[in-house]
């Protein structure tokens, strides 16, 4: 670890994961002495920048493995590369950005904050999301937004099969094609307030796309109530 200016608000601290392990990095991020961190040579390591609960900025220069920026609560983490399974899993607040692609379960169970994947995301993107906003610049894979309870998922490309299966009150916006909709997920009217919401989310994500080109999907609310036909 090297610190370029000392533990002051203008500090940048550099961690080289080829020399110092993830455990030491995360221990520092949990009790930060700097406002900005540069992480070099992550080389696909797992749990990089997990558990941050302070408003600090972390730039990871390379690809990461599983659960990068998991449980983030207030941090601003940018992965300059691709991310493995579960990036920003269970995030509470803050910003996580992946400049490349993300593997499956991006933003799983996340309660708040903004996850931006500038490339594409694999299957189960936004599974069981509970209030997070997710913006994907490319495509998403099958079973995305499965059991999504709250929050917004914006997809600038195409969506895979069974989108929004068993969805609750999350909103899903897709600009491209949708392979198929899951159980209880239907296309819904896009009203002016939804266009405004989309414009705000796209601006926050730094993605240039026309809100007029998106369609909206959400719950038909048929699974909310018990019926005798659903009993065994």
In tens, the pLDDT along 57-72 reads 999 999 999 999 999 9
pLDDT at 232 > cutoff 70 = no
| Residue 28 forms part of a structural domain | no
Cβ–Cβ < 8 Å for 106, 128: no
Mean pLDDT across the chain, nearest whole number?
94
In tens, the pLDDT along 81-98 reads 999 999 999 999 999 999
How many CB atoms are located within 10 Å of the residue 153 CB? 30
In tens, the pLDDT along 193-227 reads 999 999 999 999 999 999 999 999 999 998 876 66
- Structure tokens that stand for 29 in this block: 């991020």
Number of domains in the chain: 1
| Residue 1 forms part of a structural domain | no
| Residue 24 forms part of a structural domain | no
Exposed/middle/buried for residue 26 (C-beta within 10 Å: 0-12, 13-18, 19+): middle
C-alpha–C-alpha distance, residues 130 and 127, integer Å: 9
| Residue 17 forms part of a structural domain | no
Which CATH number characterizes residue 154's domain?
2.160.20.60
| Residue 127 forms part of a structural domain | yes
Report CA torsion sign: 38, 68, 127, 92: negative
Tell me the residue range of the domain where 109 lies. 42-222
In tens, the pLDDT along 118-176 reads 999 999 999 999 999 999 999 999 999 999 999 999 999 999 999 999 999 999 999 99
Cβ–Cβ < 8 Å for 174, 215: yes
Cβ–Cβ < 8 Å for 65, 45: yes
CA dist 127 to 41, 95, 130, 178, Å?
29, 18, 9, 17
Task: Using DSSP, state whether 228 is helix, strand or coil.
Answer: helix
């Amino acid at each position: 670890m090297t610190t370029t200016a000392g533990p002051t608000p203008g500090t940048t601290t550099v961690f080289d994961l080829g020399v110092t392990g993830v455990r030491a990095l995360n221990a520092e991020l949990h009790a930060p002495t700097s406002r900005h961190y540069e992480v070099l040579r992550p080389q696909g390591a797992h749990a990089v920048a997990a558990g941050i609960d302070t408003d600090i900025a972390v730039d990871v220069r390379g690809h990461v493995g599983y659960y990068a920026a998991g449980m983030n609560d207030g941090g601003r983490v940018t992965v300059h590369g691709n991310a493995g399974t579960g990036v920003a899993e269970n995030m509470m607040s803050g910003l996580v950005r992946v400049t490349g692609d993300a593997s499956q379960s991006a933003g799983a169970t996340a309660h708040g904050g903004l996850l931006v994947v500038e490339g594409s995301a694999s299957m189960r993107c936004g599974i069981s999301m509970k209030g997070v906003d997710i913006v994907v610049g490319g495509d998403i894979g099958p079973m995305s937004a499965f059991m999504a309870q709250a929050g917004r998922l914006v997809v600038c490309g195409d969506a895979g099969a069974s989108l929004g299966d068993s969805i609750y009150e999350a909103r899903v916006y897709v600009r491209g094609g949708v392979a198929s909709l899951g159980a209880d997920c239907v296309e819904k009217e896009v009203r002016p307030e939804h266009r405004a919401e989309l414009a705000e989310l796209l601006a926050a994500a730094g993605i240039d796309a026309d809100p007029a080109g998106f369609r909206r999907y959400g719950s038909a609310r048929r699974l909310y109530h018990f019926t005798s036909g659903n009993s065994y």
